[in-house]
Structures are given as C-alpha cells and as structure tokens.
Amino acid sequence: MQYQEFAELIHKYDFICLSESKTDDFDIIDIPGYKFIMQNRKTKSKVKSGGIAFGYKEKYEKQVHLIETESKLVLWLKISAEMFGTVEDVLIGSIYIPPENSLYKIPDAINELEQEFLNFSLNYKYILLTGDFNSRTSIDSDFFEISESHHDNSDYVVIDYASCLNQFNMLRMRYSKDVSTNSYGNHLLDMCKNNNLFILNGRVNGDKEGMFTCRQSSVVDYFICTHSLLYCIHEMLVSDFSSLYSDVHSPLSLTMSFKLTSTVDKNIYVKTCSNENVKKINKWDTEKETEFVESIDRNKLRELESELNMLETSILAKENINRVVEQVNSIILESAEKVLGSHKQGVNTHYNKKVNTHYNKKVNKSWFNKKCWETRKCFRIAKRRYKIY
C-alpha cells in the first residue's frame, strides 16, 4: 500500500466499502490482515474510473460470502448470522452509481438498484446499502407519513415503521447541509418509501447535522438500511476530507452494535384501521348505483371545479394536490354513507398497539400465511418490473 495513512484508516474497521475504486483486473489491493473483493468497470477511456471494492479482516473469511448478480451498480456480500448473533444473515450492498451527466450513466440506475434490493428482500430482512449514490436528497422525507383517516375500509394493518426512530434515538426528519436535490435523489427517496428503507445520514448519533460528503458542497454518499437493522445502529460519522483517501469524497463510517435478540420487531407502532371510533362504509350495492350518483353534492363539485380552474397548472404545489384529492374523497364518501349507510367497527383495538411485525401480523386474516406473504411479494416485484418495461 503506497499511503501508510490510508492503511491506518482501513485498520480501524472490520469491513470497508470502496466506491469508485478506479481499479482494473490487473490491480491488487494489498493491505496486511485484510482481503478484498473487487468489481471493476470496463473503461471507455484511457483513464481508470468507477469500480467497487469490499474489504474485510482475514479472520472473518468464513463468515463473508460474495453473492454474484448481473448488476454493475452494486457488490453484494452476505455476512453470516453467527458473526453478529442475529437470527438471520446480514446483507451488505456496496454501491457506486455514476453521475447523471456521466459518460457511464446507466438509464434507470435507481430502478435497477431497487430491483436488486427487491430480489434479496424476499429472503433477507437485515440489509445495509452504502456507497456513492450520486443522489442528492436534501431533507426530503424518505418514508410515507401515515395519517389517521376518518373513513377507512381496509382490512389491513397500516404499519408505521418510522415510529421506531425516536425509540432508537434517531431523528424522524433528517437534517442535511445539502439543500439541493436531483433526479437520482428523488428516485432514491421513492425507493426508500416503497421498501421501508431509512437513510441514516443526518438522523443518527454522530451525524445529526447531515454533513457534506462530497466536495464540501453536497451529500451523495449514504448509509441506508432496512427498518429491521435500525435497532443496532450505534453511530455514523463523516470524517474530514483528505486527498490521501479520495479526490473529492469524505470517508464515512458506521458503528453497529448487535445483540443476541432484536427488539425492533416487537416495538414498531402500528396504526390499525379497526379502532372503535372509526366509521366504516357498508359494502357497495350495485342496485344503488343510480341513487349514489344522484346523491353526490353538486354544489361541492362546482366549488371544486371553480378551485381547480383558479389553480396555476404549471406550478402545482404538493399541498394543493393533496387538498383536491381530500375534497374529492370527501364528496364520494359523503354520498356513499348517505346511500349505503355506515357502521362502527365492533372490535375494540388500541390505536398505537405494539405488535410483532412478522408476516402473520400484517393482515387481519387468519388464512394469510407465510406462503401468501411470499407470493404477494413476488407479485409486487413482477409489477414493478412490468412498469419499467
């Protein structure tokens, strides 16, 4: 190793993820006591670029296993459960996504990453993603806000995974010194929302300010994990930039403290749709279709139409869209309640009930077993792939 300072930095950690390693098939990363797995990129110029490398201490050789996929964006490593004392293996995805304006730009890069994640999430619940995403997310939310609705006919339990953040001394809303977003960043936020993934930057001990990670002007390097891993996150740090380590990036580090048993599954708060104070509309009756249409409040429709005409269609604020949707929903529900009638849920369940979030607790149906859960997951993956193509 040419730079002793770099070797000294490496020796502080058990695992090392190198993004844009700029290595080729002739290169060898030689650091005493460590082994490295490299995924090199074929260059389109004479200058080396891109690439991913994952290093680990030699003593963990039997616990670290490479999982090969066709993706060039992520290098997957499985860490044996016996090493951490977890009930399942831990999956680490070391990532490098080329910039949006790069010669190596990959169309739908975040979608490709999401498909990789979805494939593995069928069998792994402990997943950590880290690296250079070239995605700027500012302080925008990475999870869906679960709001209480007066009318809800769903038989499903709505799980608010974000409710456990405070329990683990994490900020619900992230901070970031980077006030800008880009297209990759917006797609990354959607990926997090759709898959219950949480960005650790600007949220956990050590980096609750959301420090810059690139050129002292942007945040593009992240630690992101599934909700099941939140309980073991101890500290995340963004170290000072040094040209000895990178041309433009600051080193990031994450300390995780594993226990023999995880408490996260037992302490996620859920918002159920069967609270005794929630009014539910009776089932649809096709014979009352005409009556339903005629009972819709025409005055409210005209008011809504007038409001829509006054909106500036070239600049539609998120709150305006949400307000219009709420009004449409209210008009329809009022007519439905008037024609079909309503009833209160008979079973008295607590609003913020602590439940185990394994597959058989996500729905209120006794027949919805593990096989059903896995089949539904496969269906969702297929549906996402269909949307892409």
Do 106 and 30 share a structural domain? Answer: yes
- Which tokens hold the place of 314? 């070239």
For the stretch 259-289, pLDDT in tens is 654 444 434 444 433 334 446 778 888 888 8
Is the predicted pLDDT of residue 20 greater than 90, yes or no? no
Q: Which of 194, 226, 259 is the last residue of a domain?
A: 259
3-state per-residue secondary structure call for 61-122: CCCEEEECCCCCCEEEEEECHHHHCCCCCEEEEEEECCCCCCCCCCCCHHHHHHHHHHHHHC
Do 325 and 186 share a structural domain? Answer: no
Domain total for the chain?
3
Do 218 and 338 share a structural domain? Answer: no
Q: Residues 75-93: what's their mean pLDDT? A: 92
- Which tokens hold the place of 168? 């683990």
CA atoms within 13 A on the CB side of 339: 21
Q: Is residue 222 part of a domain?
A: yes
19 vs 249: CA distance, rounded Å: 10
Q: Which domain holds residue 340?
A: 280-344
277 vs 275: CA distance, rounded Å: 5
Please state the φ and ψ torsions of residue 305, each to the nearest 5 degrees.
-60, -40
Q: Which of 229, 259, 289 is the last residue of a domain?
A: 259
For the stretch 284-314, pLDDT in tens is 888 888 898 888 988 888 888 887 777 765 5
Do 180 and 217 share a structural domain? Answer: yes
